[in-house]
Each structure stands twice: as structure tokens, then as C-alpha cells.
Structure 1
Amino acid sequence: MARFPALQARDVIRALPALGFEIVRQRGNRARLRHPDARVVTMPVHRGQDV
């Protein structure tokens, strides 16, 4: 199985809208993104750490 490169959370959050996700809210160190087909992604956002 292929390994994915380590990315920072803000880079992932910037890439997800291209897949149809939109940021619903960001509170504290978590961002919640929702897709029109009801999928939800909660992304931890910690400065300096990779996802």
C-alpha cells in the first residue's frame, strides 16, 4: 500500500474544497468540513504538526 506524504492540516483543509467539501466551522484547534452528500470531516489543526 502506498504511503501518503505528511501534510500540515492547513494544506489538507485547502485541498478538500476541490473535492466538494466546505468549511462549516472552526473552533479552537478543530475544523469541521461537510460534503453535500452528508460526509463530515473533523480536522485537528495544530501548528507545526503533520496530519
Structure 2
Amino acid sequence: MHKLPAITGKDLIKFLESIGFKVIRIKGSHVRLKNEEGKATTVPLHGSEALPKGLLRKIIREDLEMSLEEFLILFNKFKC
């Protein structure tokens, strides 16, 4: 099993924008993003706190519809 890195909401939003998502709405501390395929997700921004691992897994699996391995490969390329 692959281990998820600690990712802040701000870093996740930057990553999602790099793979084609656009911010469509900001309401309070939550940012809603959507891509051209119609996939959408909401990312909470709570300062510099890392996102809870369960929420990050849910976003990857259900909202982005990608495997954990795919996400880690893309995220590692983005961070370099």
C-alpha cells in the first residue's frame, strides 16, 4: 500500500489547477473546482494544516476517479 504525503489544501488546489481543474466558486474556507470533463471536487482551506488522509483519499478515489498510484505519480512530477 502506498503512503499518502501530507498535502495542504493550497498545494492540492495548485496541483488540481495544473491538471486542468479551474476554480468555479469560493465559499468561506472551501474552494470548488471543476474540469472540462465535468469532474468536480471541493477542497477545504484551513491555514497551513494538512488535509485529513481520509478526505484526501476520498477526493482522489471518488472525485478525481484515479487510483492512488496515478495520483502519486502525477503529484510527484508536479512537486519536482
> Please, what TM-score do these two structures have when normalized by structure 2?
0.60
Q: Separation in 2 of the partners of 1:21 and 1:37?
A: 9
Cα distance in 1 for partners of 2:42, 2:48 equals 18
| 1:48 shift after superposition | 3.0
Identity of aligned residues (%): 29
Q: Identify unmatched segments of 5+ residues in structure 1.
A: none
Residue type at the aligned position of 1:15 = F
What TM-score comes out, normalization by structure 1 length? 0.89
The structure with more helix, counted as a fraction of residues: 2
Larger relative contact order (CA 8 Å, sep ≥ 6)? 1
Residue identity in the other structure for 2:4: F
**Over 4 Å off, 4+ runs:** none
In the alignment, which residue of structure 1 is the partner of 2:69?
none
Greater strand share, structure number = 1
**Structure 2 gap ranges (5+):** 52-80
1:17 positional shift: 1.2
RMSD: 0.9
